[in-house]
A and B are shown apart, each in its own frame.
Chain A
Amino acid sequence: DTGVSQNPRHKITKRGQNVTFRCDPISEHNRLYWYRQTLGQGPEFLTYFQNEAQLEKSRLLSDRFSAERPKGSFSTLEIQRTEQGDSAMYLCASSLPDRGSPLHFGNGTRLTVT
């Protein structure tokens, strides 16, 4: 069990640029979640997948955000035309599909938009 891996660890970008983050889940986990967290707040749900199928996307997520999970393995989260309000920690988690299965989190990608 190598854990959930997220890359990059930190990303600084200028407003208007596109950024892409990658998450590699635990290999036998077919469920994958993306969350956004700002300072002092809890993780905010963005989207989640079961295998390659995207089950739900938060209504709070604008069209500038898109996530994919080709072949049901790693996932990418892309933010187009970044805004300063996008600055946050982006967390990925994976789990087995059972209702009681705990989420295993990566250490996140911290995005700073200047």
Chain B
Amino acid sequence: SQQGEEDPQALSIQEGENATMNCSYKTSINNLQWYRQNSGRGLVHLILIRSNEREKHSGRLRVTLDTSKKSSSLLITASRAADTASYFCATAQGYSSASKIIFGSGTRLSIRP
């Protein structure tokens, strides 16, 4: 079962442009994480935002969280060809320390040189 849904499913932009991906989720969360996956590889953790935070930055990444709308966005600024990958949001359901991590369906990002 998927907890989150990313939007758009696919995104193609020119190198140097900004890329924005959105994630919606269904249940209450403790935190939301974003991961990146290159083709044929495992996922790599990018950034985590807690439920009491509204915005977080890390390098060229900016994440926002709106718990009232149950949504998050990931912004990648000044995109590079190496940013081509799939991006997934993941949530820890509920507030138990034993919460499992559930992933969304992902956005496939292509950066055109």
* List of B residues within 8 angstroms of A48 by Cβ: 100
* Cβ-neighbour of B2 out of A4, A42, A108 (below 8 A): A42
Main secondary structure of the interface of A (DSSP, over half): loop
* List of B residues within 8 angstroms of A98 by Cβ: 97
Whether A100 pairs with B50 at a CB distance below 8 angstroms is yes
- Of all chain B residues, the one with the shortest Cβ separation from A35 is B103
* Cβ-neighbour of A45 out of B1, B44, B105 (below 8 A): B1
Main secondary structure of the interface of B (DSSP, over half): strand
Whether B106 pairs with A102 at a CB distance below 8 angstroms is no
Report if A25 contacts B (CB, 8 A): no
Sorting the interface of chain B by its residue count into under 10, 10 to 19, 20 to 34 or 35 or more gives: 20 to 34
* List of A residues within 8 angstroms of B31 by Cβ: 99-100
Taking beta carbons and an 8 Å cutoff, which residues of A are in contact with B?
A: 4, 33, 35, 40-45, 48, 50, 55-56, 58, 60, 91, 93, 97-100, 102-108
Whether A105 pairs with B43 at a CB distance below 8 angstroms is yes
Whether A50 pairs with B98 at a CB distance below 8 angstroms is yes
13 A-B contacts, Cβ less than 8 Å apart? A42-B103, A45-B1, A55-B98, A56-B100, A58-B1, A91-B42, A99-B97, A100-B50, A102-B33, A102-B48, A103-B90, A106-B42, A108-B42
**A42-B98 contact given A93-B42, A108-B42, CB 8 Å threshold:** no
- Nearest-CB distance from B56 to chain A (Å)? 12
- Nearest-CB distance from B16 to chain A (Å)? 27
Whether B100 pairs with A45 at a CB distance below 8 angstroms is yes
Report if B26 contacts A (CB, 8 A): no
What's the Cα separation between A40 and B33 when bound, in Å? 19
**Which B residues between 2 and 54 are near A, CB-CB below 8 angstroms?**
2, 4, 6, 30-31, 33, 35, 40-45, 48, 50
